[in-house]
């Protein structure tokens, strides 16, 4: 009889009464061909074990009497052997009592390509062969997962806020009608754009291979953020009598061209780098000219969330550009195509432009309106300048950045 590398004692347990719960994990810990010794005082096991081994494709090597028990020897077979190494001794570090997703990613890094046949198995699990191929289409790390995505997810989890209780709604006081109407119009425009940022990432989540689950998890935090933004902007529109304003055909055409995107990198670029990037400046403008502190606060909070979404987009694009030299041409094409569809749509919707002017004027006095008008013109300039800076940071040349920013000009989002 060969030597066993593991021994277990099953006492009187019958095969159908718990013995397998000891035997199967013990065999699982062995290499193929490794030998297990099983001590058993159950007489029926003498017949049951060889039969079970035959069905499970393990090799039953025989049995010898030891004191008042049987010592069965079994060599581990390779049937249905899960692929990969079992995780041994993996212990995530505590950081101020917290466990971080970034530490999981650091421990089990993203593979360059993912196997569609591993299905929904969490990364790190050993996968039995024989499962079906899943229809994921985002199976390449460099087209899906920027290196800092898990850190962004951890930050997003820590930064969630509550639109019911974190805004001092009771502090909103009556405003002149024209100003409140302008606030209502701006909140309508913001909410409509937020809806595009809810819908566009959501259509990619189910295409992402679970090997890059942190990307889906991060995008889910974005969906929660955008939901909260829609909620908080619609609440502000209706909190003080302003009510909703107009949804313009220009905005609709602009957002439609975003929603039609089918490439994840193009979507991350157009939505998060150009659109949400430009939105940072719009939100800053509304915050700076907000008529009351709760309005400034809710816009400031939304901007903090948007900064994270922009960071994800920039990181995604920078990483993809560095690994795919043909990407710039594709992205420029996507921006050109979008600009062409908006050729006749005109620039910023009139109602939005007027409302931003009234907001910056703090009312409708002609002197204030003149100032508001100048501030609006300055906003467009600031948006362009910051867009170029962001594009350079995302890995484009200054010339490319200038071209892309000019093409984006008719859109805010
Ligand atoms: Fe948002
Ligand atoms: Fe966003």
Cα gap 237→229, rounded to integer Å: 12
CB 108 within 8 Å of CB 124: yes
Return the pLDDT at 346. 65
pLDDT-based confidence at residue 323 (cuts at 50, 70, 90): very high
Please state whether 348 falls in left (phi above 0), alpha (psi between -120 and 50) or beta: beta
Q: Which residues pair with 138 in a beta bridge?
A: 208
> Which residues, 6 or more positions from 140, have their beta carbon under 8 angstroms from its beta carbon?
112, 113, 114
pTM of the model: 0.92
- pLDDT over 70 for what percent of the chain? 99
228 alpha carbon, closest ligand: 1
Cα gap 374→301, rounded to integer Å: 26
Q: What is the mean pLDDT of residues 138-159?
A: 97
CA 197 / ligand 1 centre spacing (Å): 6
Q: What is the mean pLDDT of residues 377-387?
A: 96
Strand, coil or helix: what is 385?
helix
CA 197 / ligand 2 centre spacing (Å): 6
CA 132 / ligand 2 centre spacing (Å): 35
CB 270 within 8 Å of CB 259: no
User: Could you give the dihedral angle defined by the CA atoms of residues 248, 249, 250 and 251, in that order, rounded to the nearest 10 degrees?
Assistant: 60
CA 225 / ligand 2 centre spacing (Å): 7
Q: What is the mean pLDDT of residues 46-65?
A: 96
Tell me the domain boundaries of the chain.
Answer: 6-75, 141-408
| Residue in the structure block whose two tokens are 């909103």 | 172
> To the nearest whole number, what is the mean pLDDT of the chain?
95
> Which residues, 6 or more positions from 398, have their beta carbon under 8 angstroms from its beta carbon?
388, 392
Check if 6-75 and 141-408 are the same fold.
no
First CA to last CA across the chain, in angstroms?
Answer: 74
| Residue in the structure block whose two tokens are 């302008």 | 182
CB 94 within 8 Å of CB 62: no
> Which residues, 6 or more positions from 28, have their beta carbon under 8 angstroms from its beta carbon?
86
311 alpha carbon, closest ligand: 2
Residues with CB in 5 Å of ion ligand 1: 194, 226, 229
CATH of 141-408, picked from 3.40.50.2030, 3.40.50.2300, 1.10.390.10, 1.10.620.20, is 1.10.620.20
E-strand spans in 17-147? 35-40, 59-66, 69-75
Q: What is the mean pLDDT of residues 177-199?
A: 98
Q: Residue 344: is its pLDDT beyond 70?
A: no
Q: Find the helix or strand (DSSP H, E) in which 280 lies.
A: helix 276-288
CA 373 / ligand 1 centre spacing (Å): 26
CB 171 within 8 Å of CB 341: no
Return the pLDDT at 142. 94
Give the CATH superfamily of 6-75: TusA-like domain (3.30.110.40)
User: Burial code of 273-297, b = ≥16 C-beta within 10 A, e = fewer?
Assistant: bbbbbbbbbbbbbbbebbbeebbeb
């Amino acid at each position: 009889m060969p030597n066993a590398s593991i021994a277990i004692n099953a006492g009187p347990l019958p095969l159908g009464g718990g013995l397998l719960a000891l035997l199967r994990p013990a065999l699982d810990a062995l290499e193929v061909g490794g030998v297990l010794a099983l001590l058993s005082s159950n007489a029926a096991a003498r017949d049951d074990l060889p039969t079970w081994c035959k069905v499970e494709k393990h090799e039953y090597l025989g049995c010898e009497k030891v004191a008042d028990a049987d010592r069965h020897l079994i060599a581990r077979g390779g049937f249905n052997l899960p692929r990969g190494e079992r995780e041994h001794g993996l212990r995530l570090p505590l950081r101020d009592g917290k466990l971080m997703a970034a530490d999981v990613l650091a421990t089990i890094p993203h593979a360059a390509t993912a196997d569609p046949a591993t299905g929904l198995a969490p990364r790190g699990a050993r996968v039995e062969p024989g499962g079906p191929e899943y229809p994921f289409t985002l199976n390449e790390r460099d087209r899906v997962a920027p290196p800092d995505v898990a850190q962004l997810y951890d930050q997003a989890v820590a930064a969630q806020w509550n639109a019911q209780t974190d805004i001092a709604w009771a502090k909103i006081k009556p405003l002149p009608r024209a100003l409140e109407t302008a606030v209502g119009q701006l909140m309508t425009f913001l909410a409509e754009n937020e809806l595009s940022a809810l819908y566009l990432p959501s259509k990619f989540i189910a295409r992402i291979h679970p090997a890059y689950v942190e990307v889906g998890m991060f995008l889910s935090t974005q969906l929660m953020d955008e939901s909260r933004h829609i909620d908080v902007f619609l609440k502000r529109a209706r909190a003080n009598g302003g009510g909703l304003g107009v949804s313009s055909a220009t905005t609709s055409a602009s957002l439609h061209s975003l929603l039609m995107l089918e490439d994840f990198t193009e979507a991350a670029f157009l939505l998060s780098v150009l659109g949400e990037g430009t939105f940072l400046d719009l939100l800053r403008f509304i915050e700076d000219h907000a008529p009351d502190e709760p309005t400034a606060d809710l816009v400031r909070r939304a901007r903090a969330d948007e900064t994270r979404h922009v960071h994800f987009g920039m990181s995604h694009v920078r990483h993809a550009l560095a690994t795919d030299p043909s990407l710039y041409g594709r992205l420029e094409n996507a921006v050109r195509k979008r600009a062409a569809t908006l050729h006749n749509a005109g620039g910023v919707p009139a109602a939005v432009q007027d409302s931003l002017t009234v907001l910056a004027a703090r009312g409708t006095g002609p002197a204030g309106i003149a100032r508001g008008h100048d501030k609006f013109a300055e906003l467009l300039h600031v948006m362009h300048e910051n867009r170029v800076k962001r594009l350079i940071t995302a890995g484009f040349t200054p010339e490319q950045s200038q071209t892309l920013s000019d093409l984006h000009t008719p859109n805010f989002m």
